[in-house]
Amino acid sequence: MNPNAIHLTDGTAQRLREFLFRDEDFQALRALVRSLTGINLSEQKRELVYGRLTRRLRALHLRSFAEYRELLRRDPSELTELCNAITTNLTSFFREPHHFQYLREQWLTPLAQERTGGRLRIWSTACSSGEEPYSVAMTVLETLTERDRWDVRILATDLDSEMLERGRRGVYPPDRLHGLTPQRQARFLPEVQSSPTGSRRIAPEVAALVTFKQLNLMHALPMKGPLDVIFCRNVVIYFDKDTQRDLFARISQLQRPGDLLFLGHSESLFKISDSYALIGKSIYRRI
Ligand SMILES: C[S@@+](CC[C@H](N)C(=O)[O-])C[C@H]1O[C@@H](n2cnc3c(N)ncnc32)[C@H](O)[C@@H]1O
C-alpha cells in the first residue's frame, strides 16, 4: 500500500492532494478541453491539469474536481476560465529572431524596392500577450520608411481572453523585454512614468498597426483574406495531426501563391499540408 495515497472503496488509489481528482475527472476535462480548443492533453498532462485548475477550485471554494465539472455544466462562463487556465502562453519579443530577419530582408525590403506603396495584411493567429504582433509591427516600421504610402494592418488573435487584454494594454515589465535591443526599447516602448518597476508601454505608432480580437482556431475563420503573411507559431504543437490538417486547409484558403507562413520551431507541415513549400527554417510559401 502506498502511504501517500488514499485507497478508495472502488479499489483505485488517489494521491493525497488538496482536491479529489479522479481518473474520470481527468478524462472528462481532457475531452472537454479538446472539443473546446483542439488542445490534445496526453496522459502525461494529468499533473498539469491538476496544477493549473487548483487556482480556480480555490477561488470558487470547491472541494473536488467533480464539483468543478458540475459547475462547468451549470455555468458556461466558467468554460472561458477553463480555457484560459489550460492554454500555455509562453512568448517573447522577437522570439525565433530569424523569422523577423527573413521578414525584413527577404520580404519587406524587396517589396519596398519593387513598389512605392500598397496594402499589406498580416495575421498573428495565436498572439498570446502581444509580443509577436508587436515585433512584426516594429519590423514593419523599421523597414517601410515611407510609411504613409503603405496601408499595413496586423490582426492579432488568440483564444485566451486574459492574454488579449494584456496585449491590448501593451505594458510590459522589465523581465519581458529581453528580446528587445536598447534602441528598440527607446524607440518603440517608452518608459511608463508612473511605474515604480520600470515597465514600458508600446508606443502609439506601434499599437496603431495592431488590432486584437478573440478567435478560436477551431471555429470558422471570419476573415476574407488575402493575407500576405501569417504567423501560426507554437500553437499547433498542442493539436493532433487531423486538427492541424483541417486548420491549415482553412488557413491556406486565405493566402495567394507566394504569400508567407511562419510556424514555430518544432512545428512542420510535413504530411499536414501540401499547399505550401518549405523555404527556410519553419518558413513556408503558399504554392
Ligand atoms: C505558446 S503560445 C504562442 C504565442 C506566440 N505565437 C509565440 O510563438 O510566441 C500559444 C497560444 O495559443 C493559444 N491557443 C491555444 N489554443 C488555441 C485555439 N484553439 N485558438 C486560438 N488560440 C489558441 C493560447 O491561448 C496561447 O496564447
CATH code of the domain containing 223: 3.40.50.150
Active site residue: 25, 95, 158, 286, which one? 158
Same domain, 158 and 73: no
Q: Considering the entire predicted model, what is its pTM?
A: 0.94
Q: Does the residue 91 lie in any domain? A: no
Same domain, 148 and 25: no
pLDDT digits (tens, 9 = 90+) for 136-151: 999 999 999 888 899 9
Confidence of residue 37 (pLDDT cuts 50, 70, 90): very high
pLDDT digits (tens, 9 = 90+) for 197-226: 889 999 999 999 999 999 999 999 999 999
Same domain, 81 and 105: no
Q: Is 129 in the pocket of ligand 1 (CB under 6 A)?
A: no
Amino acid identity, residue 188?
A: F
Same domain, 142 and 221: yes
Same domain, 173 and 254: yes
Confidence of residue 15 (pLDDT cuts 50, 70, 90): low
Take residue 83 and report the three cell numbers written for it: 480555457
The alpha carbon of 53 and the centre of ligand 1 are apart by a number of angstroms equal to 18
DSSP secondary structure, 145-191, as one string: -SGGGEEEEEEEEES-HHHHHHHHHTEE-GGG-TTS-HHHHHHH--B
The alpha carbon of 119 and the centre of ligand 1 are apart by a number of angstroms equal to 26
pLDDT the model gives residue 90: 96
Report the number of distinct structural domains present in the chain: 2
Same domain, 121 and 245: yes
Residue nearest to atom 3 of ligand 1 (CA): 234
Q: Which residue range is the domain that position 145 belongs to?
A: 97-286
The alpha carbon of 167 and the centre of ligand 1 are apart by a number of angstroms equal to 13
Mean pLDDT of 258-271: 98
CATH number at residue 50: 1.10.155.10
pLDDT > 70? residue 10 = no
Same domain, 101 and 223: yes
pLDDT the model gives residue 196: 87
Task: Give the ligand 1 atom nearest the CA of 239.
Answer: 16
Q: Is 128 in the pocket of ligand 1 (CB under 6 A)?
A: yes
Residue 219's contacts (CB-CB under 8 Å, 6 or more residues apart) are none
pLDDT the model gives residue 4: 44
On average, the pLDDT of the chain sits at 94
Same domain, 66 and 123: no
Same domain, 108 and 186: yes
pLDDT > 70? residue 9 = no
